[in-house]
A and B are shown apart, each in its own frame.
Chain A
Amino acid sequence: MLVQKKLILTEAKLFLREPAAVFFVTLLPIALLLVLGLSVPGFSQPDPALGGERPIDAQFPAMMVLLSVATLAVSALPATLVMYREKGVLRRMSTTPVRPGALLVAQIAISAAVAVLSTALTLTLGHLVLDVPVPRLLAGFTGVLLLGSVALFSIGLWLAAVAPNAKVVQGAGAAVLFPLLFLGGMWVPRDLMPSPLRVVSDFMPTGAFGQALRDTMGGHAPSLTHLAVLTGWALIAGIAAARMFRWE
């Protein structure tokens, strides 16, 4: 346990020494929310396309949470893990009494902590500056955040398992991340998607995650379909990752 704590602290220090990673997963979503929320008047006015909600009530903050978690899970985490494998960091650890799995645990713990922290910051600053309402179904919102994160992190670990090197995983991460964000409703809200596209979105981890976050923020129960989709992705990707992961 002491070793695990030390590993987590060391990896946390290393994460903070990568300004680009810190920027993309924490500062960018918060900055987008604040800057766009303050400068685009439409975001603070009721939008008939969103059923009379203001975009900053649920759609916009939910997308920023999705952006942060998805970037961490599909881009940052697999890039670090594959780099550790490629450079022999995992191999070096396997020569000691500590299993390299401890490093994986540390990485996931840090990513999870950053995801929670960045979500909390986004919602708190959004509330203080833009009057974004506190999620009305807070327990439901927390549960959805957890389940959605598990699904996305499983996909990221799967990517790390199959990617042969750091170059491929960075390319693949971006190639997967942007379509996923699009289908999650990042650029076109799901309400405005043509219905075939919305059905595809329903079955994507980001579509289900984004909608469930929006639902719980607005005080509605998430749809069972979306919860089942997230559970399915978590299981399939998680099992595939566990089977295919290579330490060297």
Chain B
Amino acid sequence: MAIISVRNLRKTYGETVAVDDVSFAVEKGEIFGIVGRNGAGKTTTVECVAGLRTPSSGVVEFGAGLTDAKEQIGIQLQDCSLPDKLKVGEALELYASFYPRPADWRALLGEIGLDPRVAFAKLSGGQRQRLSVALALVGNPRVAILDELTTGLDPQARRDTWDLIERVREMGVTVLLVTHFMEEVERLCDRVAVISAGRVLAVDTPDGLIERAGGGQRIVFHTTGPVDALTALPEVTSVRRNGDEVVVTGTGDLLVTVVGALTPGQVSGLRTERTTFDDAFLALTGNAPVSS
């Protein structure tokens, strides 16, 4: 049963269309990703879901026991900080007092591994993000919305944050994850909505989207010989040549077929690559340069 259904959501600011037409449904207990480039309308979409903005048109419906956005949706937004001198423990205790049925903030503190006596200004970027997650969870929400959580974190802090998000899901909280970081989608999301220019291009599992983008296989090698014959093979979908380097994509027994068709002795540096979510995203959104 869907815990959040968004139908034909639209949000405009004067002439500017932030969200054009967005529909998706989030199932209870999943990690649902919303991906898109900067300015695609991701943040506005989740702000409408959380009741922070009123949609210009369209519907946001709750189900599966979710009734009150402010009380039952915990949201961590970008660029929200705390007073410099507020200590970690004080922040959690204060925010816990805002909710009718808060979580045990001391237990959350253990979960994020921070010292309660440290002032906010003294926290590293990763520690601030972990505190942000804890503040989004301190009201004991049914849904946690996390917006661009790992942007600007170093690889270790990013992995720690991912582990934390997985533990959040294990606590039974449905997670709505806004990101433009494709590795994060592959690692964490059960399903994802790809948004571009305020519209949903596709909603699927990460693997499903990869499949749509031309399947899972890609072979790269160097050769000076002709490769035209490869195009005729049924397993091959595309052949791209860039100088000596040839990239072949396709399905089925691609590797065996391609190797069998090549002239021995003329091929070097052959490797196979799996199509990543990155490739799928670029294929879906059409290779335009990322604006940021």
Where the two chains meet, the residues of A that have a C-beta atom closer than 8 Å to any C-beta of B are 2-3, 6-7, 10, 13-14, 17-18, 84, 87-89, 91-98
Contacts and interface: CB of A to CB of B under 8 A. Distances in A.
B80 A88 contact: yes
B90 interface: yes
A98 B94 CA distance: 11
B17 to A, nearest CB: 21
A10 B75 contact: no
B46 to A, nearest CB: 11
B100 A97 contact: yes
B188 interface: no
B90 A3 contact: no
B139 A96 contact: yes
A87 to B, nearest CB: 5
A10 B77 contact: no
Contacts of A95: 50, 52, 70, 74-75, 77, 80, 136
A96 B140 CA distance: 12
Contact of A10 (B68, B86, B100): B86
Contact of B90 (A2, A10, A94, A98): A10
Nearest to B138: A96
A91 B85 contact: no
B81 A89 contact: yes
Given A88-B80, A91-B80, A96-B70, A6 B75 contact: no
B118 interface: no
Nearest to B91: A10
Interface of A is mostly: helix
Most buried by B among A7, A89, A92: A92
Contact of B99 (A84, A88, A91, A96): A96
A97 B80 CA distance: 17
A95 to B, nearest CB: 5
Contacts of A97: 68, 70-71, 98-100, 139
B83 interface: yes
A17 B86 CA distance: 9
A3 B214 CA distance: 55
Interface string B61-94: 0000000101100110101111101100010001
B94 A94 contact: no
Nearest to B70: A97
Nearest to B139: A96
B38 interface: no
Most buried by B among A3, A89, A93, A95: A95
A98 B80 contact: no
B165 interface: no
Nearest to B78: A88
B18 interface: no
A18 B97 CA distance: 24
A76 to B, nearest CB: 14
B139 A89 contact: no
Given A92-B77, A95-B75, A97-B70, A84 B83 contact: yes
Most buried by B among A17, A88, A97: A97
Nearest to B132: A92
Contacts of A98: 98
Contacts of B85: 14, 17-18
